């Protein structure tokens, strides 16, 4: 086990002031590392934290991974602490790994999701970053799990669909792919960006906008994305069953797998 040493005055320890990224590591390498570094760097600019240049950041990751014996695939969390300017403590990177909990059965059966009771503030600055202050997401996900669901979906304060506690949400309706726009209170997910680009390249009509959550009930298919899930079909929304397969969704999933394989970094 790798020991982590943190100064007691680091703002990460005191206030949850920091950033993190969760990357998927396979036997082929790290999936989409550039996208994760770019988002962490953007978050660093917003919080006034210096993120190492990409190659240095990646070298530190590879040095850590070289000491690991985890079974592929696994999740790598990269955390940037907030440091403490008042105590001249510089931000630092921490790394840890964990198993990926999703199984082939999850993809075959799809996720059950619910709409969460508390609204998501679309005006929060935290929507723009992967903040280590993750309590809102944790509590919301606990609500979903307690309801025998695997994910919970937020509605924002204006009544529009936002995102999941750990994922971005998409839906297909009459050969059009829809997803909430970022100003609805969504994190700019790395896989969200990939899916939007791939769908456009495939000639699929794509729309980002403000959608009433009732549209999910009318959708042909619904799916979720994040770095570890990739693309996860939704089989049930509250108590309503959803179809988890279609020609278009299968096409997007196939192209996604090819893209991620191309963008995996070995060194």
In a domain, 196, yes or no: yes
pLDDT in tens, 222-251: 999 999 999 999 999 999 999 998 999 999
pLDDT in tens, 87-100: 999 999 999 999 99
Domain final residue pick, 99, 127, 148: 99
pLDDT in tens, 131-177: 999 999 999 999 999 999 999 999 999 999 999 999 999 999 999 99
Question: Do 148 and 221 belong to one domain?
Answer: yes
What would the mean pLDDT of 199-219 be, rounded to a whole number? Answer: 97
In a domain, 178, yes or no: yes
Question: Do 134 and 81 belong to one domain?
Answer: no
In a domain, 2, yes or no: no
Full domain range(s) for residue 34: 11-99
Q: How many domains does the chain have?
A: 2
Question: Do 136 and 44 belong to one domain?
Answer: no
pTM of the model: 0.95
Question: Do 71 and 122 belong to one domain?
Answer: no
The enclosing domain of 221 has a CATH number of 3.20.10.10
Question: Do 119 and 175 belong to one domain?
Answer: yes
Q: What is the 3-state secondary structure (H, E, C) of the chain?
A: CCCCCCCCCCHHHHHCCEEEEEEEEECCEEECHHHHHHHHHHHHHHHCCCCCCHHHHHHHHHHHHCCCCCCCCEEEEEEEECCEHHHCECCCEEEEEEECCCCHHHHHHCEEEEECCCCECCCCHHHHCCECCCHHHHHHHHHHHHCCCCEEEEEECCCEEEEECCCEEEEEECCEEEEECHHHCCCCCHHHHHHHHHHHHCCCEEEEECCECHHHHHCCEEEEEECCCEEEEEEEECCEECCCCCHHHHHHHHHHHHHHHHCEECC
């Amino acid at each position: 086990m790798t020991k982590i040493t943190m100064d007691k005055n680091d703002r990460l320890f005191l206030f949850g002031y920091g950033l993190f990224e969760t990357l998927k590591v396979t036997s082929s390498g790290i999936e989409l590392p550039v996208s994760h570094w770019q988002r962490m760097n953007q978050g660093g600019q917003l919080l006034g934290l210096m993120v190492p240049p990409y190659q240095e950041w990646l070298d530190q990751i590879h040095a850590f991974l070289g000491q690991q014996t985890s079974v592929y695939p696994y999740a790598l969390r990269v955390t940037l602490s907030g440091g403490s300017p008042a105590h001249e403590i510089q931000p630092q990177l921490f790394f840890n790994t964990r198993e990926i909990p999703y199984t082939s059965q999850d993809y075959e059966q799809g996720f059950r999701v619910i709409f969460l009771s508390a609204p998501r503030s679309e005006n929060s600055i935290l929507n723009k970053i992967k903040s280590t202050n993750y309590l809102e997401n944790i509590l919301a996900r606990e609500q979903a799990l307690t309801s025998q669901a695997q994910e919970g979906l937020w509605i924002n304060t204006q009544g529009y669909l936002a995102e999941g506690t750990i994922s971005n949400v998409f839906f297909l309706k009459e050969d059009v792919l829809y997803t909430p726009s970022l100003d609805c209170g969504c994190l700019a997910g790395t896989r969200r960006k990939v899916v939007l680009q791939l769908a456009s390249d495939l000639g699929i009509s794509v729309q980002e906008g403000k959608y009433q959550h009732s549209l999910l009930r009318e959708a042909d298919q619904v799916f979720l994305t994040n770095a570890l899930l990739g693309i996860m079909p939704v089989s049930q929304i509250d108590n309503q069953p959803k179809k988890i397969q279609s020609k278009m969704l299968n096409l997007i999933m196939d192209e996604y797998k090819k893209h991620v394989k191309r963008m995996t970094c070995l060194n």
